[in-house]
Amino acid sequence: MALVSTPAVLLRTYPYGDSSRVLRFYARDLGLVGILARGVRGKGGKQGSGLGTFASGVLTAYVRPHRDLHTMKEFHAVDVRTGLGSDVLRFAAASTVAELLLGHTEQEAQPGLYDTLEAVLDSLRDGDPALLPTLAVSSLWRMVVALGYAPSLRECVRCGRVLGGDEMGRFHLAAGGVCCAECDDPAVGPRVGPTARRHLEDLLAGVSVIPVAYPRRHLALVADFVGHHLVHRPLKSLGMLVDLLPVDDGSGT
């Protein structure tokens, strides 16, 4: 058993016994971990404070190799991200990101993934309200990329040819990227034209600065992609998130 201190984000908590909780953290040096926190329920005292969902801080825990559940010594919250709880769309997007990570990640440390998680949660908390639907979609794509599943957007996933700048393509869900006009097959996924591909590149990179048109269509695409490649069951939080996005009317850009 080793005493480990690591930056960590709290993703979910469950009651455990009369006075304890099981906390699921994504920790920079440990990956996804379950931590038993004894005596923290109903007190709100020194140990219980700061244990809100999406809080970032330094977790110190007694870690046993090859165990699912470790024991918390302390969690020193550095940023409790209360802003995420004050807006239902911000909260739903953050919950979907957390559920994706909880549903997919194996217990291994991926510091790049941790850093993306921090950046994504900050962007959801701080983002301009007009850009929030776009940020919600972007957050999911950024996590997909950080998990190592970035879709191919420039070269056809079937023939390898680079798509022309004004060429209509199609998103091939199973193959994990776009296919060109010559390889087109309506059965494999939705059409993605040049503008949609450019928007997708910005969403994946987390650099979108203008609201995307059709945010619901964009959410459906990333949800279908996640369902094909990353999780076995649909993410429950997606149902809440999609209802909060504006209905697609094409009035964005």
Residues that bind Zn ion (CB under 5 A): 156, 158-159, 180, 183
| Beta carbon of residue 205, minimum distance to Zn ion (angstroms, whole number) | 24
Distance CA 214, CA 218 (A): 6
**Pick 120 or 180: Cβ nearer Zn ion:** 180
* Dihedral sign computed on CA atoms, order 130, 218, 149, 98: positive
With H, G, I as helix, E, B as strand and everything else as coil, classify residue 214.
coil
**Pick 145 or 180: Cβ nearer Zn ion:** 180
| Beta carbon of residue 181, minimum distance to Zn ion (angstroms, whole number) | 8
Distance CA 221, CA 227 (A): 10
**Pick 43 or 154: Cβ nearer Zn ion:** 154
| Beta carbon of residue 191, minimum distance to Zn ion (angstroms, whole number) | 14
Residue 162 has what DSSP assignment? B
**Pick 126 or 182: Cβ nearer Zn ion:** 182
| Beta carbon of residue 178, minimum distance to Zn ion (angstroms, whole number) | 9
Q: Quickly list DSSP for 52-96.
A: -TT-EEEEEEEE-TT-SEEEEEEEEEEE--GGGGG-HHHHHHHHH
